[in-house]
Structure 1
Amino acid sequence: MDALRGRAETLKLARLLDVEPQQLAFLEELPADDVRLFRESAVAALFDEDPALLDRIAGVTKLLPAAVAAGIAQKALGPRLAAALAGRLEPARAADIIDKLPVDFTARCCHHVDPRRIAGIMGRLDDDIVVRIALVLAERGDHLTMGRFVGHLRDSALKGILPQLAETTLLRTGFVIDHPERLGHIVELLDDQRISAVIEAAADHGLWPEAIAVAGMAAGEQRARIASLTAAQPEGRLDSLIRATAEQDLWESLLPIVSLLSEDELRAVAALPALRDPAVLGGLVHGVVGTGLWGDFLPLVGVLPPSARRVVAGVAGALDDAGLDALARGVDKEGLWDLVLPLIELMSDAVRERVLALRSFQERAAG
């Protein structure tokens, strides 16, 4: 998931710093957790600047009726300063003022609000206001701001919002959610028909990376549910998933999801045309060598058509000694020799001799 998480964190940081994401693309090469920590430090640097001034303004605001404060916020402060001020008010007072503001103005403020203050404010807003704000943000395509807020919403608000959002909006918002630990519960609120529609949208709109990321962030039971509903999709749609994964080298993110499938579902995936393409299979093997995901990969190999298994054996057999040793050690660590031995049988005599001569294989034989 690290590559996709890094991509999402870079988008969120670009929004925070008000720069184009392309200017920060180099950050995608760094660990996603490091980028997240940097973003959190940037939040503190940006929103904690001159808090005394904002606190003085907030103190004056407390003396005014909520309707008057709302009028001043809208006509004199503007969205950026109003959002900064909301972050210095008591959450209940901020909610009272928001209740008197036009929803369109509040939605523009959401873009600028201190992320650390969101939970307290959202918890005090009526569901009706929250739903209307969310729909304005969705209409604007402001998925990054929605991603900041969605993890803080009550189920009652989510149940009013989710049915009204386009499937592409659900994907793009889930991809950049600030609290991924909530994503599994949000998915649980969607029925199978809606999740299938989201999967269809991922195929139709080139959003497979977002869909893979959302599935990966969902909790165990919901992740397995998404995997199963994806495996039930038509062949052409599934084939586009495999090809998108190959083109963007996202095997590290997809294979743990594939590993959750039943044997029948796994056979449906193994029969896809894309998994008979030597270029796709070659990239897949090299991706597994780089990530060590043998436990997720070998069950799929076991149900591939014979011609595809021979391609996998050929690619694996062409690895250098270090690559073969990494394969053997990974298999040994996971206790997967029963799955890999049939693959070794498909290799040439020369490659089999190399495998048998590996120190890791010798250690296994001695054990």
Structure 2
Amino acid sequence: MTGPSVRAEVGRLAAELDVDPGELAFLHDVPPTAIRDLRADLAEALHTRHEAKFRRLARLSHLAPAPITAKVAEVAFSPLLGARVAAVMEPEQAIRLAARLSPGFLTDVSTRLDPVRAEPIIRGLPVRTVVDVGRRLLEREEYLPLGRFVSVVDTDVALEVVEVASAEQMLAVALWTEEVAALDAVMQRLPDARLADVLAVGLAADARESAYDDLAAVLAAAGDATRARLLDLAAGLDGADATPLTERLP
């Protein structure tokens, strides 16, 4: 049986390569840390291959006023190209341009943006902008980029984004959150009732099998204290049996 963390890592790698996760089924017996290392190496290679071109385009942003550059970017750049160029721009210039871009285009770009490379830009944007883009991603069910952004934004910002999320959406975002510390920081601030709702989604008798797998992956990735808290809450849910879940944990 595929380990609870492998499915998430295969999904992240598939997104990086822009392929269906089913095409990477041959990796299901590979340790999740090895898949994560492979993804990091591939992302670096893909970025480095065209970095000089991205930097030339980034320098062109200084040749015209920000409103004109932003309009050209929305017309001429795909979300992927916009994300690649933004990742190599000076943060101050990228932040100025972001203020001129439409919320829809910003959201499109965020689906292809590497949050780690773009962290100085993200942290320099107005909180209202980050929350708005985050909630738009939530509406679009773009859970993978949302989970990646949780790792680089302040915990208060992440909490404000997921404040409007359903329990199903909360589980999906948690699944794709890569950094254990970031995931734990959000969960520690959530009330028991909110976490219990998320647990109920995965443990419901009529739950999709993938929802149960998602919950197992989240528990496997969580820190020891957070995992213990979640398992205690799960044990107290009416009609839920968390025993099989604990057997799948490391």
Q: TM-score, normalised by structure 1?
A: 0.63
Is residue 2:205 matched to residue 1:218?
no
In structure 2, distance between residues paired with 1:37 and 1:82: 25
How far residue 209 of structure 1 moved from its aligned partner, in angstroms, is 2.1
The corresponding residue for 2:137 is: 137
227, 246, 251: which is aligned to 2:247? 251
How far residue 199 of structure 1 moved from its aligned partner, in angstroms, is 1.1
The corresponding residue for 1:113 is: 113
In structure 1, distance between residues paired with 2:173 and 2:109: 18
Is residue 2:11 matched to residue 1:8?
no
Could you report, residue by residue, the CA deviation over 1:175-233 in whole angstroms, capped at 9, with x for unpaired residues? 12122221111101211111111112223443122222223322333222111111110
- Residue 91 of structure 2 contacts residue 120 of structure 2 at CA under 8 Å; is this kept in 1? yes
In structure 2, distance between residues paired with 1:182 and 1:214: 12
Is residue 2:200 matched to residue 1:200?
yes
Secondary structure at 1:117 match in 2: coil
Structure 1 unaligned segments of length 5 or more: list them. Answer: 257-367
Could you report, residue by residue, the CA deviation over 1:294-313 in whole angstroms, capped at 9, with x for unpaired residues? xxxxxxxxxxxxxxxxxxxx
Letter in 1 for 2:247: W
Q: TM-score, normalised by structure 2?
A: 0.91
Letter in 2 for 1:129: T
In structure 2, distance between residues paired with 1:100 and 1:59: 18
RMSD: 1.8
In structure 2, distance between residues paired with 1:148 and 1:183: 10
Q: Which 10-residue stretch deviates more, 52-61 or 6-15?
A: 52-61
In structure 2, distance between residues paired with 1:65 and 1:178: 37
- Residue 83 of structure 2 contacts residue 110 of structure 2 at CA under 8 Å; is this kept in 1? yes
Show the 5 A alignment for 1:1-367. Answer: 3-204=3-204, 205-206=207-208, 207-234=211-238, 236-238=239-241, 241-242=242-243, 245=245, 251-253=247-249
Instruction: Answer with 1 or 2: which has the greater Rg.
Output: 1
In structure 2, distance between residues paired with 1:34 and 1:217: 15
Secondary structure at 1:178 match in 2: coil
Letter in 2 for 1:6: V
In structure 2, distance between residues paired with 1:183 and 1:191: 14
- Residue 196 of structure 1 contacts residue 229 of structure 1 at CA under 8 Å; is this kept in 2? yes
How far residue 242 of structure 1 moved from its aligned partner, in angstroms, is 4.2
- Residue 9 of structure 1 contacts residue 36 of structure 1 at CA under 8 Å; is this kept in 2? yes
Could you report, residue by residue, the CA deviation over 1:147-183 in whole angstroms, capped at 9, with x for unpaired residues? 2111111133123212111111111121121222211
Letter in 1 for 2:99: D
How far residue 66 of structure 1 moved from its aligned partner, in angstroms, is 2.3
Secondary structure at 1:4 match in 2: coil
Structure 2 unaligned segments of length 5 or more: list them. Answer: none
Structure with higher helix content: 1
Could you report, residue by residue, the CA deviation over 1:243-262 in whole angstroms, capped at 9, with x for unpaired residues? 5x4xxxx7241xx6xxxxxx
Secondary structure at 1:87 match in 2: helix
How far residue 70 of structure 1 moved from its aligned partner, in angstroms, is 1.4
Secondary structure at 2:64 match in 1: coil
- Residue 43 of structure 1 contacts residue 114 of structure 1 at CA under 8 Å; is this kept in 2? no
- Residue 116 of structure 2 contacts residue 152 of structure 2 at CA under 8 Å; is this kept in 1? no
How far residue 33 of structure 1 moved from its aligned partner, in angstroms, is 1.0
Instruction: Give the aligned length.
Output: 245
